[in-house]
Amino acid sequence: MAKLDQRRIAAFLAQPGACRVVLLHGDDAGLIRERAEALQQSVIGGDDPFRLADLPREAAAKPGALAGEMAALAMTGGRRLVRVRDAADGLTPAVKEALAGPGEALLVLEAGELPARAKLRTLLEPAPDAAVIACYRERGAELAGSIARMLQAEGVAAAPAALEWLAARLGEDRMLLRREVEKLALYAGAGGRLSEEDVMACTGDGSALDLDEALVAATAGDVSTADRALDAAFAEGASPIMVLRAALRHVQRLHLASLGVAAGQSASGALEALRPPVFFRLKPGFEQALRLWNPELLAAAGAALLEAEKQGKSGSANRPIPDTVVARAAVLQLARQAIALRRRSAA
């Protein structure tokens, strides 16, 4: 079975068949948890204590522990599920022992990011009775498709423009995303259809907006507002990698609008042409930024943000995500550059 193609994942989660071990790994902890819970629902239908063993990693690593759980029978009958969170390569001997032993239980391992040569992946990817599922953050059209499916499961539809706007705005954390989708479903009601205006009105608060405010303020040269909004975004759960990627998307959108201005459009006209549209509260700052920056400077700013992400990731093997210091410095550098551009234009 080995690594599952993305197109097969939904069907597998609903019916894992004779598979004995599933390894979920990647940078989206929310998606890993969601898929583990889908497998739990498929196999045991909930939280039946007679059919579920939820083991800490330390307990699972002890010799014979996993093999014993895999071989155990449920008092009430039915297949059992063994779940281990925070799985790492140290579990490899125990997993190998469990695979070689008897039992029909399904072992679900929830790991973080694992390189291709990780021991768990090396063990399980060739195994015929194991499945390895990568859980990485979705973006763009892929993320919009997932949002559409989540809404559909709640009995709600959304216009394509609404899905595009949500995909660009809600970020990539699966747990936060699902909470927003549930809120939208309640807003629309069963059988409802969300327009672009609906989703803009319903998702106007929270860390995503704080982050947008920080980025627009930065590129408009408003350091104090950018810093306060950035603090709010971090307090609401925005991760450093989310900040850097959102900053890059913001600069790319500014770059696209600035190309329109360079081609003869007015600043307001170039702004209105952007899709998804700019949130109405952010339009004044966005237009102000558009009057300061030209395409060449924005292209250079985008390259600097890519370098900031690379810098944050290169700190150590145990720190794969950029820290808040790197992310904050990158955003405030945009603000300092905008101030310099404003002074230059006033001179």
List the one residue out of 20, 24, 22 whose CA is nearest residue 33: 24
Strand order in the sheet with 130-134: 2-3, 130-134, 21-25, 106-111, 81-87, 52-55
Tokens coding 223: 């350091």
Distance CA 281, CA 77 (A): 58
Burial class (CB in 10 A: 0-12, 13-18, 19+), 174: buried
- Pairwise pLDDT comparison (220 vs 7), residue with the higher score: 220
In one-letter notation, the amino acid at residue 187 is: Y
What value does the mean pLDDT take over residues 172-194?
83
The average pLDDT across 219-232 equals: 83
- What digits encode the pLDDT tens for the residues 242-299? 788 888 888 998 899 899 888 888 888 888 888 777 777 788 888 888 888 889 999 9
- CA torsion sign, 126 to 128 to 130 to 134? positive
High-pLDDT (> 90) share of the chain, %: 32
Q: What is the mean pLDDT of residues 68-90?
A: 92
275: left (phi over 0), alpha (psi -120 to 50) or beta: beta
Computed over every residue of the chain, the mean pLDDT equals 84
Whole-structure pTM value: 0.57
β-pair partners for 194: 158
- Residues 103 and 80: their CA atoms lie apart, in Å, by 9
How many C-beta neighbours within 10 Å does residue 278 have?
19
In this prediction, residues 36-49 reach a mean pLDDT of: 89
Q: Tell me: pLDDT of 206 over 70.
A: no
Question: Regarding predicted confidence, which is higher, 139 or 55?
Answer: 55
Give residue 345's pLDDT. Answer: 79
What pLDDT does 88 receive? Answer: 93
Token duo for residue 8? 């097969």
Share of the chain above pLDDT 70, in %: 91
Least confident of 77-81, 152-156, 159-163, 168-172: 168-172
Q: How confident is the model at residue 204 (pLDDT cuts 50, 70, 90)?
A: low
Of residues 277 and 82, the one with the higher pLDDT is 82
Q: Report the C-alpha gap between 257 and 228 in whole angstroms.
A: 26
Give the pairing type, strands 106-111 and 130-134. unpaired
What was the pLDDT predicted at 12? 93
Query: Is residue 322 over pLDDT 50?
Result: no
For the chain, the farthest-separated pair of C-alpha atoms sits apart, in whole angstroms, at: 82
**Pair 91, 63: CB distance under 8 Å:** no
